[in-house]
Amino acid sequence: MLFVATSVAAGQSATGALTTGEAIYQAGCAGCHGPNGQGMPDTTIGFDKPATFPDFSDCRSTTPELDVDWRATIHAGGQGRGFSRIMPSFAEALTSAQIDAVIGYLRGLCRDRSYPRGELNSAAAAGDGESVSGRRDGDHDGSGRTPRAGRERRAGV
Ligand code: HEC
């Protein structure tokens, strides 16, 4: 727990001047979500990952996620949306422009452009967040791709 508290505090105080999604991610998020979005290894992450812990490189589980839901989670933290409170709130640390930038970076971690984005698929873009529950079956294929650093783009758009 000490590690988590320290890394969150460091991440949050370091994010103020950062503008690119990648810089924000590496400073504020990679300590838990890992340099490639796959999550830090269990041995070093410092907490038990909830079953819903995301793998941002896994197109199959992240493309149905809506930007509006991710924005809410990053702003309010996991607790604000009924997820694990380990996911901190960045309402104080990040501006909404920074949150949009880091979401753009998260989208780029899924490298397979054949997956259509949730927004393109769903009439529930303004939904209530129910779409996130029970969506992961734990069968991760397609991982092992190495996201190229320094690219910002929104996959599938
Ligand atoms: C202290 C560790 C920690 C840090 C730092 C952290 N997260 Fe998280 N994050 C989590 C955990 C744990 C979850 C899973 C919550 C759950 O599913 O109950 C999560 C979930 C999420 C989700 C929801 C994913 C989904 O599929 O619904 C998003 C989006 C997210 N984090 C983005 C970020 C971003 C962006 C940052 C940096 C600005 C960040 N996180 C920093 C621990 C962290």
Judge whether 96 lies within some domain: yes
Judge whether 47 lies within some domain: yes
Q: Is the pLDDT of residue 128 over 70?
A: no
What pTM, to 2 d.p., does this model score? 0.72
Determine the average pLDDT of the residues in 49-64.
92
Counted domains in the chain: 1
Neighbours of 23 (CB within 10 A): 17
Cβ(113)–Cβ(156) under 8 Å? yes
pLDDT of residue 112: 73
Kindly state if the Cβ of 32 falls inside 6 Å of ligand 1.
yes
pLDDT of residue 120: 58
Q: What is the pLDDT of residues 2-43, one digit of tens each?
A: 445 444 544 455 566 788 999 999 999 999 999 999 999 999
Closest-lying ligand 1 atom to the alpha carbon of residue 11: 5
Task: Determine the Cα angle at 59 with ends 57 and 65, to 5°.
Answer: 105
Closest-lying ligand 1 atom to the alpha carbon of residue 49: 12
Judge whether 110 lies within some domain: yes
Tell me, in angstroms, the distance from the centre of ligand 1 to residue 121's CA: 23
pLDDT of residue 15: 62
Cβ(62)–Cβ(56) under 8 Å? yes
- Give me the domain span that covers residue 110: 2-117
Q: What is the CATH number of the domain that holds 72?
A: 1.10.760
Which residue out of 87, 99, 135, 140 has the highest number of ligand 1 atoms within 8 Å of its CB and is therefore the one to mutate?
Answer: 87
Kindly state if the Cβ of 60 falls inside 6 Å of ligand 1.
no
Judge whether 68 lies within some domain: yes
pLDDT of residue 131: 42
Judge whether 15 lies within some domain: yes
Of 129, 155, 144, give the one whose Cα is nearest residue 52. Answer: 129
Cβ(98)–Cβ(42) under 8 Å? no
CA gap 116, 86 in Å, rounded: 29
pLDDT of residue 49: 95
Q: Which residues contact 76 (CB under 8 A, 6 or more apart)?
A: 89, 91
Q: Is the pLDDT of residue 148 over 70?
A: no
Lowest mean pLDDT among 67-71, 91-95, 127-131: 127-131
Residue nearest to atom 10 of ligand 1 (CA): 87
Kindly state if the Cβ of 67 falls inside 6 Å of ligand 1.
no
Determine the average pLDDT of the residues in 88-116.
90
- Produce one character per residue of 67-81: b if its CB has 16 or more CB atoms within 10 Å, e if not: bbbbeebbbbbbeee
Judge whether 152 lies within some domain: no
